[in-house]
Structure 1
Amino acid sequence: MKSRSSFLALGALLSLLVLCQPHAAAQTFVNGGAGKEPASVKAGVSFVWLSENDSQGLMFSNNFSHYLGKRLALGLNLGLLSAKRYDDAKQIYTIQNTFYMGSLEAAFDVMNGEKVDVRFGAGPAFRHRAEINSDPEGQGTQDGSVTHIKTSDVGFHGFLENDFDILRNGIAGGKISYFHFNKGTPILSIGLHLGFRF
């Protein structure tokens, strides 16, 4: 019994030592991305178009991704979107959207160079939306001539992205994304990002 406890303690210690060195292990076996570093953090801003509402705005996002191999990476993306539509005839905003968004991403580098990466990616997406809408089709809570909608949706996210190396570990690039949800308007976004690899 005592030898079994010692064996389990030794196994736990070896596991801890291996887990404490993920960066070195990743650099040895991964060697992925333009900067040859396994992980990246990026902040971006995108112009967005919401097709059903015909409204436009901006989305601010933060992304963390980690390479699992030379070309395959997994990531998490979190963002805040604000979009509006102004009706010139009524002289009011007939649509106002605020979305808190997130998505999990799996990406594959179709071009993996020394200075430039180009990748396709996709994954599940979710959002919490708060809208003021003058044409809600039976949704939300009526307030005079407009309706307030607060709900959450799940869906799918697909994107095309590129990264360029800048300075030592810096990256900059662009991203085209499409979000489709089970309810509410889909989103098309085109934007730029800036970040670093580590």
Structure 2
Amino acid sequence: MRLSKLTIVLLLLLCLFSGSNSFANGYDRFQNGANKDPNNFKAGISFVWLSDYDSQGLMFSNKFGHYFGERFSLGLNVGMLTASRYDEGKQIFSIKNTFYMGTLEAGFDVISNEMVTLRLGAGGTARRRNEINSEPEDQGTVDGSVVHIKTSDVGFNGFLENDFSFLRSGIVGGRIDYFYYSSGTPVFAIGLHVGFKF
């Protein structure tokens, strides 16, 4: 009788021990899976500076990204930029810019762990450019009347980005961008984003 009670207790302890191990392994798999979600979506806002016109403004962007392997990702980034320069002497906005921008980008994670990711990347970019400009190159008028410019440009983009993970799938971070185009002013941007992995 004692032997059977001892056997039952040992069997229960063995089941409990193996059950706790399988629970721990399952939790580890869940945690690792949460850190390796291949897709992400981010919405961001950036302060921008247009060097040729010395104008400033904001850029709003949305990005979808997908990982191929542990560190390499491809993404599509679309956004809208609005910027202007106010001429104190003339008391008017001498430059007003509106850009609709799209970028196909590739990124590589230089640092990647459960909490922080640091990414370098580059890609091809295109924009639809609408400008009101009082001093366009080779188009200015003596009386200072403005010129409307509507055109499209292509170029390239380089960026440095970091992500901080929070909760199970949340992302918050910052990004520095430089856009160079075949014509028109380059764009330098620095901003913040928030999103999620799935």
TM-score, with length taken from structure 1? 0.80
Q: Which amino acid aligns with 2:172?
A: A
* Contact preservation (8 Å) 1:127, 1:153: yes
Residue aligning to 1:41:
41
Residue aligning to 2:24:
none
Of structures 1 and 2, the larger Rg is shown by: 2
Provide structure 1 residue ranges, at least 5 long, that are not aligned to the other structure: 1-27
Residue 163 (1) aligns with residue 166 (2) = no
Provide structure 2 residue ranges, at least 5 long, that are not aligned to the other structure: 1-28
Residue aligning to 1:6:
none
Matches within 5 A, 1:8-157: 35-138=35-138, 145-157=145-157
Shift of 1:144: 7.1
Residue aligning to 1:9:
none
Q: Which amino acid aligns with 1:80?
A: M
Runs (4+) of structure 1 exceeding 6 A deviation are: none
Residue aligning to 1:11:
none
Q: Which amino acid aligns with 1:67?
A: Y
Identity %: 66
Shift of 1:137: 1.8
* Contact preservation (8 Å) 1:139, 1:149: no
* Alignment root-mean-square deviation, CA: 2.0
Shift of 1:138: 3.5
* Contact preservation (8 Å) 2:44, 2:194: yes
TM-score, with length taken from structure 2? 0.80
Between structures 1 and 2, the one with greater helix share: 2
Q: Which amino acid aligns with 1:64?
A: F
Q: In structure 2, how many angstroms separate the alpha carbons of the residues matched to 1:180 and 1:89?
A: 30
